[in-house]
Amino acid sequence: MPRPRRTIDGIDLDRVPRHVAIVMDGNGRWARQRGLPRTAGHRAGEEAVARALDAALELGVSHLTLYAFSTENWRRSPAEVRFLLNDTERFVLRRRDEFHAKGVRMRWIGRRERRIPARVRRNIDESVEMTAGNRRLTLTVAFNYGGRAEIVDAVRRLAAAAREGALDPRRIDERAIARALYDPDLPDVDLFVRTSGEQRISNYLLWQSAYAELAFLPVLWPDFSREHLFDAVREYQRRERRFGRA
Ligand code: IPE
Ligand code: IPE
Ligand code: MG
């Protein structure tokens, strides 16, 4: 007898994307519409993160990756950069107990440079350690992250191993590169979501998104709700993924 389909609001729970990656965009515009400083938009984005995470947990998504700060975001004003760096740290500190209680494992991908205050790095690392044993969902924060920087860093590592004689260059294949990325356990992206209506990748998860389904939503990030994630997943389930096959 066929198993009855398990669904929530029209979503087939047996075909949920395993890895959802989100470009949380539109905080500045959200704030401007209200006559507020851009930082107020970033602050308001925190509740949207909580809603996105709860929706992902409800559907049984196993990996949720959020773009918090890109390698290009250093081009913003020093005040906004400082706010974003500290805000990511404060966010992690404010929320980690709640995430831990929900069975969420936290990870960080990105360049661990000196430009990021040591305290910020330490607090993020601590949250990663604290939640390392959780298995329900992996929440990866892309922080000082760039897709090209990630590939450059991976290639450097492989080149260093080759120079030491530990790696035969002929054995460098897609698997070897994938294993040299910031988090070798991060699976390929199934569903790539960007809010704010912009339709671009902005250097996010370039390697991992090679065959992702793209969804561009017209909502500004602070207004993102459970229903928006559900809409994106329903859209994903209407797509036909081919991976090159006919
Ligand atoms: C996304 O919102 C947050 C980050 C990039 C950190 P923006 O700050 O890019 O908001 P817009 O695009 O200017 O509206
Ligand atoms: C991408 O958004 C980076 C993050 C959301 C952290 P941006 O707002 O920085 O991207 P662009 O500049 O519009 O491409
Ligand atoms: Mg933006």
202 lines ligand 2 (CB under 6 A): yes
**Nearest ligand to residue 84 Cα:** 1
Whether residue 243 lies inside any domain: the answer is: no
Candidate list 12, 14, 25, 168, residue with the active-site label: 25
Is residue 20 one of the residues assigned to a domain? yes
Cross-strand partners of 104? 137
- Annotated catalytic residue 203: no
52 domain-assigned: yes
- The residue contributing the CA closest to ligand 2 atom 14 is 202
Q: Is residue 244 part of a domain?
A: no
Q: Is the CB of 200 under 6 A from ligand 2?
A: yes
pLDDT tens per residue across all 246 residues of the chain: 777 789 999 999 999 999 999 999 999 999 999 999 999 999 999 999 999 999 999 999 999 999 999 999 999 999 999 999 999 999 999 999 999 999 999 999 999 999 999 999 999 999 999 999 999 999 999 999 999 999 999 999 999 999 999 999 999 999 999 999 999 999 999 999 999 999 999 999 999 999 999 999 999 999 999 999 999 999 999 999 999 999
Give the span between the Cα atoms of 101 and 97, in whole angstroms.
6
Catalytic residue from among 9, 14, 27, 73: 73
| Domain assignment of residue 30, yes or no | yes
10 domain-assigned: no
Which residue's CA is the nearest one to ligand 2's atom 1? 202
Nearest to 230 by CA among 52, 95, 88: 52
Which is the closest atom of ligand 2 to the Cα of 72?
Answer: 9
The per-residue pLDDT for 40 is: 98
| pLDDT given at position 192 | 99
- Distance (Å, rounded) from C-alpha 101 to C-alpha 197? 33
Quick one: CA dihedral 39, 195, 138, 187, positive or negative? Answer: negative
In a domain, 11, yes or no: no
Residue 224 belongs to what domain range?
16-238
Distance CA 122, CA 146 (A): 21
Rounded to whole angstroms, how far apart are CA atoms 25 and 221? 5
Number of domains in the chain: 1
Q: Is 87 in the pocket of ligand 2 (CB under 6 A)?
A: no
Ligand 2 neighbour 198 (Cβ under 6 A): yes
**Residue 27 falls in the annotated catalytic set:** no
pLDDT, residue 2, reads 76
Q: Say which CATH number the domain at 37 has.
A: 3.40.1180.10
pLDDT of res. 189: 98
Query: Residue 54: which of 225, 216, 234, 231 has the closest Cα?
Result: 225
In a domain, 245, yes or no: no
pLDDT of residue 206: 98
In ligand 2, the atom with minimum distance to the C-alpha of 221 is 5
Which residues surround ligand 1 with Cβ inside 6 Å?
A: 24-29, 69, 73, 84, 196, 221
